[in-house]
């Protein structure tokens, strides 16, 4: 997620809306090679695990060609598909700036790429996470509408003091969502599909809970920013996710949630639709270590 509370200062050189030029010509051969290495590893592993719409997006946007994508080129194709653009920002941006970009169909992305030492872990999302992880699904009309609706909802949540609740929706869908397709679960969250380790863990490992999507429940649930998730939430379809987001009146939900305690990351409630209850073995091992 690329947002932070409103107190951060706009870096020098960033425009009023916090964007900066991507400066594509400045990437070194080593940086392009880093992208290719990450891309090839994910592209070899994801088919059959990731939702088909993601693969379609990669093809449609011609993201399969080597090297770090040029945002201008990417935006041109994306604009034709769904009216979205990709713009570069220097780092985290304030909540309102983030939401405003989404509401106007602009996806804000970092322009730096991780170093070989950061292959599997980095704190701040880089261009591989932002572009490989997020952009392919923006070529899907339904998901594209969901992202815009999310941005509009964010601007409203800000006025209602409910950003924390709404941020959890982003986390458990856009970043770490699973989707049901037939009798299988597939990946679609950008935080998963841009991570080799979590792409395996989220689908195959017996540790995490896999629970049915429930809008209100999910906005009550804490999440992990430091490691693999302990619960994943499964949507039925992008159509259903979009419909629920558009049709729900969030203000009364926020009121209700204000009086309730947040749920711990591994909680399973009696009313949850359970795909599987995790052993939490992975998280327990980490606690001992």
Q: Is 75 a catalytic residue?
A: no
- Choose, from 129, 195, 207, 231, the residue flagged as catalytic: 129
Rounded Cα distance between 145 and 216, Å, is 20
Question: How far is the C-alpha of 206 from the C-alpha of 40, rounded, in Å?
Answer: 27
For the CB of residue 194, give the shortest distance to Fe ion in the complex, in Å.
8
The candidate with the shortest Cα–Cα distance to 257, out of 211, 216, 212, 215, is 216
Closer residue to Fe ion in complex, CB, 68/190: 190
Residue 166's H or E segment, with its range, is helix 163-170
Find the residue with minimal CB distance to Fe ion. 190
Which C-beta is closer to Fe ion: that of 190 or that of 283?
190
What's the DSSP call for residue 238? H
Active site residue 175: yes
Residues that bind Fe ion (CB under 5 A): 190
**Complex with Fe ion: residue 134 or 254, whichever CB lies closer:** 134
194 in catalytic set: yes
**DSSP per-residue codes, 17-35:** TS-B---GGG--HHHHHHH
Question: How far apart are CB 39 and Fe ion at their closest, in Å?
Answer: 17
Catalytic residue, from 53, 75, 101, 194: name it: 194
Least Å distance between CB 182 and Fe ion?
27
Q: Considering only CA atoms, which of 165, 281, 142 is closest in space to residue 222?
A: 165
Q: How many CB atoms lie within 10 A of CB 284?
A: 12
Among all chains, which residue has been given the structure tokens 């009086």?
Answer: 259
Catalytic-role residue among 53, 75, 175, 231: 175
**Beta carbon nearer to Fe ion, 100 or 175:** 175
Q: How far is the CB of 130 from Fe ion (least distance, A)?
A: 6
Write out the catalytic residue numbers.
129, 134, 175, 194
């Amino acid at each position: 997620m690329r947002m932070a509370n409103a107190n951060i200062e706009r870096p020098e050189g960033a425009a009023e809306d916090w964007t900066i030029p991507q400066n594509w010509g400045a990437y070194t051969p080593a940086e392009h090679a880093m992208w290719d290495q990450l891309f090839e590893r994910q592209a070899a592993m994801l088919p059959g695990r990731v939702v088909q719409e993601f693969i379609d997006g990669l093809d449609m946007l011609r993201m399969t060609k080597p090297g770090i994508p040029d945002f201008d080129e990417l935006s041109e194709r994306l604009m034709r598909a769904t009216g979205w653009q990709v713009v570069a920002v220097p780092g985290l941006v304030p909540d309102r700036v983030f939401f405003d970009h989404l509401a106007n169909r602009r996806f804000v992305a970092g322009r730096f790429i991780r170093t070989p030492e950061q292959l599997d872990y980095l704190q701040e999302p880089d261009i591989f996470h932002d572009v490989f992880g997020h952009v392919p699904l923006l070529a899907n009309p339904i998901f594209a509408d969901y992202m815009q609706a999310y941005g509009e909802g964010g601007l409203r949540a800000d006025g209602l003091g409910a950003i924390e609740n709404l941020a959890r929706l982003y986390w458990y869908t856009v970043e770490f969502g699973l989707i049901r397709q037939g009798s299988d679960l597939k990946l679609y969250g950008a935080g998963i599909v841009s991570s080799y380790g979590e792409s395996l863990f989220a689908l195959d490992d017996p540790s995490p809970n896999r629970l049915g999507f429930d809008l209100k429940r999910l906005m009550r649930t804490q999440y992990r920013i430091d490691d693999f998730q302990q619960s994943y939430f499964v949507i039925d379809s992008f159509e259903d996710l979009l419909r629920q987001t558009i049709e729900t009146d969030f203000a009364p939900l926020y009121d209700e949630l204000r009086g309730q305690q947040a749920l711990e990351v591994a909680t399973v409630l009696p009313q949850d639709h359970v795909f599987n209850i995790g052993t939490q073995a992975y998280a327990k091992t980490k606690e001992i270590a």
